[in-house]
Structure 1
């Protein structure tokens, strides 16, 4: 799922929660036109059924709350953690003749980081490779100087990724670039 899809998902979840919370507050304060603040929110039949199943209904509500909290925790955990499944070991490509070309992943990562920091506007770079070896996902974070021109850095990063793809013999399936600007005079 892309970053835009994640933002859309979280925006929809947030809006649903805000609308539900607002509706509950409006009903509880009795500010709806024609509403009675002393009226029962749930129907009499539902309320009787709840009271009839007294200890089990409370337990069921508590279990549902705990399961919802665990599902929310898992979703948040998956959203907030760094890219997982880091590529380890060797990147292997079959050759035309018998044999294989093997490249150490750490060497590729350090080479791309070194290439990215070759631009004077880039103060530092971090790279992570994840996914399957023939088409890995490439995650890049560049730290930029305050006076770096965005277009120049974008061109430099694009050229570095193209050189990486040519050198490694694999095209990134997904490329995620995050740029951070160091504080200072713009």
Structure 2
């Protein structure tokens, strides 16, 4: 699902929950037309049908609750998996002649990580690609040693991103670099 799809889904869910809460609040305060604040939430006819259908009504409610919980768990797991819209599979570029060049996105990210960790001042690096292939967003986190010169590392990261852009023919639309310095002797 795209970023826009996720935003639309969560907006709809939020609006439904707000509308339900506002309706319940309005009914409780008696401001909702036709609603008596002293009346029961469920009608007596509905309560009689519920009791008549027992134990099947309870079983149906339990099954519905479990299904809703599973759907919610799956949605939450998908949200926590990777950044939304991260590139998976292959980047595909049309060629000048008939045909396409296909590059695995994970391989590209790993290659950029290897390039970044080639500097002795960079202990670890992590790269995430998001967005559309011709102009992806590049998210980089580098863990630096305590004695790494900031200017040298900055130039190394710039050069690595330039090499990445030249190699993949993907100019980053957005570049976010986070540098963390490991504690130790400066």
TM-score, scaled to structure 1? 0.57
TM superposition shift of 1:55: 4.2
Residue 158 of structure 2 corresponds to which residue in structure 1?
Answer: 158
Query: What is the RMSD of the two structures over their aligned residues, measured on CA atoms?
Result: 2.2
How big is each residue's C-alpha offset from its partner over 1:136-181, in whole Å with a ceiling of 9 and x where there is no partner? 0000000000000000000000000000000001100000000010
CA distance in 1, matches of 2:144, 2:108: 22
Which runs of 4 or more aligned residues in structure 1 lie more than 4 Å from their structure 2 counterparts after TM superposition?
Answer: none
Which of residues 26, 29, 54 in structure 2 aligns to 1:56?
A: 29
| Gap change, CA 1:185 and 1:58, over 3 Å in 2 | farther
TM-score, scaled to structure 2? 0.57
How big is each residue's C-alpha offset from its partner over 1:44-66, in whole Å with a ceiling of 9 and x where there is no partner? xxxxxxxxx9941799xxxxxxx
Residue 181 of structure 1 corresponds to which residue in structure 2?
Answer: 181
CA distance in 2, matches of 1:54, 1:164: 60
| Gap change, CA 1:148 and 1:57, over 3 Å in 2 | farther
CA distance in 2, matches of 1:94, 1:112: 22
How big is each residue's C-alpha offset from its partner over 1:21-80, in whole Å with a ceiling of 9 and x where there is no partner? xxxxxxxxxxxxxxxxxxxxxxxxxxxxxxxx9941799xxxxxxxxxxxxxxxxxxxxx
1:178 alignment partner, SS class: strand
Gaps of 5+ in 1: 1-52, 60-80
1:108 alignment partner, SS class: helix
1:184 alignment partner, SS class: coil
Count matched residues.
114
2:101 alignment partner, SS class: strand
- 1:20-99 equivalences under 5 Å are 55-56=28-29, 83-99=83-99
2:84 alignment partner, SS class: coil
Residue 131 of structure 1 corresponds to which residue in structure 2?
Answer: 131
TM superposition shift of 1:85: 1.3
